[in-house]
Amino acid sequence: MGAGHRYQGAAFAGSVARLSQLPPDTGAEVAFAGRSNAGKSSALNALTGRRGLARTSKTPGRTRMINLFALDGAARLVDLPGYGYARVPDATRRQWTQLLGTYLARRQALRGLVLVVDIRRGLTRLDWELLELIAERPVPLHVLLTKADKLSGGAARQALERARRCLEDAGIEASLQCFSATRGSGIEDLRGLLDEWLAGA
Ligand code: GDP
C-alpha cells in the first residue's frame, strides 16, 4: 500500500493566517475541518501515507492557521484550523469563525469539504455550526467518522447510521464513512473520493 496515489507526493506549502495570503484561487482544493483532537492530522497523515506530514500543522502557532499541502498538478489539500479549543478568548473564536466562514463561502477552488468527526462523539454543536457556514453553498461534503477502531464493528455501523440520519433530518447532503488512522482502514475509500473531487486538476 502507499504507492500509486497522488497524495503521497503532498508537500507542505505554507501556513496562512489571512485569506489574502492564500495562493491564487485557481486549481482545485479539498479542505479538512474538525474539532481539535478529532483526528484530522492523523487522517491527513494516513491519507498521504506520510507519518509526519500534518505534524507541521501542529507546531505551536500553526494550529490556528490554514495549512496548505500541494499535490501534483494544480491540486491542494487544505488543513483548516481545528475548532473547539477550551479557554479561547471570544475575540479569537470570532476571528476563526470568520476565517473559516469566508474561506468556505468564497473559495472557488474548493471542490469538497471533509469533516473529521470522532466516531465516539458523533456530530457536535460546533460541527453543526461549521456546517451552517456552507449551507448557502453546495460544496460536496464528506463526513469522516474516525477512530472507528475504538468501537466494535456493530457500534461503528450504528454510529454511522445515526450521523447519516441526523444529516438527512437537517436536509444536508453528505457522504459518510468510517475511518481509522490507527488501523489504516477506510483510506482507500477516502482516496477514491478525493480522486473524484480533484479530477482534472
Ligand atoms: P487533530 O487535533 O484533529 O489533528 O487530532 P490528532 O490527529 O492529533 O489526534 C488526536 C488524538 O487522537 C491523538 O492522540 C491521536 O493519536 C488519536 N487518534 C487519531 N486518529 C485515531 C484513530 O484512528 N484511532 C485511534 N485509536 N486514535 C486516533
* 62-75 pLDDT tens trace: 667 899 999 999 99
| pLDDT given at position 3 | 56
What is the residue with the minimal CA distance to atom 25 of ligand 1? 147
- As a whole-number percent, the residues of the chain with pLDDT over 70 amount to 95
Non-local CB neighbours of 104 within 8 Å, separated by 6+ positions: 31, 110, 113, 130, 133, 134, 137, 139
**CA 164 – ligand 1 centroid, Å:** 22
Which uninterrupted H or E stretch holds 76? Answer: strand 75-79
Average pLDDT for the chain: 92
Structure-block grid coordinates of residue 87: 479557554
**Predicted pLDDT of residue 62:** 66
H-run or E-run covering 176: strand 175-178
Residue 51 or residue 166, greater confidence: 166
CB neighbour class for 31 (10 Å; exposed up to 12, middle 13-18, buried from 19):
buried
Grouping H, G, I as helix, E, B as strand and the rest as coil, residue 118 is strand
Helix-, strand-, coil-residue percentages of the chain, each rounded to 5: 40, 25, 40
**Per-residue pLDDT reduced to its tens digit, 148-158:** 999 999 999 99
Residue 92, phi then psi, degrees to nearest 5:
-65, -45
How crowded is residue 95: how many other Cβ atoms within 10 Å of its Cβ? 16
Q: Which range, of 10-14, 32-36, 97-101, averages the lowest pLDDT? A: 97-101
What pLDDT, on the 0 to 100 scale, is given for residue 37?
92
C-alpha cell at 130: 461549521
| pLDDT band at residue 1 using 50, 70 and 90 as cut-offs | very low
pLDDT of 104-139, one tens digit each? 999 999 999 999 999 999 999 999 999 998 888 889
pTM of the model: 0.95
Q: With a cut of 80, say whether residue 58 has pLDDT above it.
A: no
Helix (H) or strand (E) holding 48: helix 40-48
Strands 11-16 and 28-34: unpaired
**Looking at the predicted structure, is the pLDDT value of residue 94 above 50?**
yes
High-pLDDT (> 90) share of the chain, %: 76
Pocket of ligand 1 (CB under 6 A): 34, 36-42, 82, 146-147, 149-150, 180-182
Give the pLDDT score at 2: 44
Return the best residue to mutate from 35, 37, 40, 42 for the ligand 1 pocket (most ligand atoms within 8 A of CB): 42
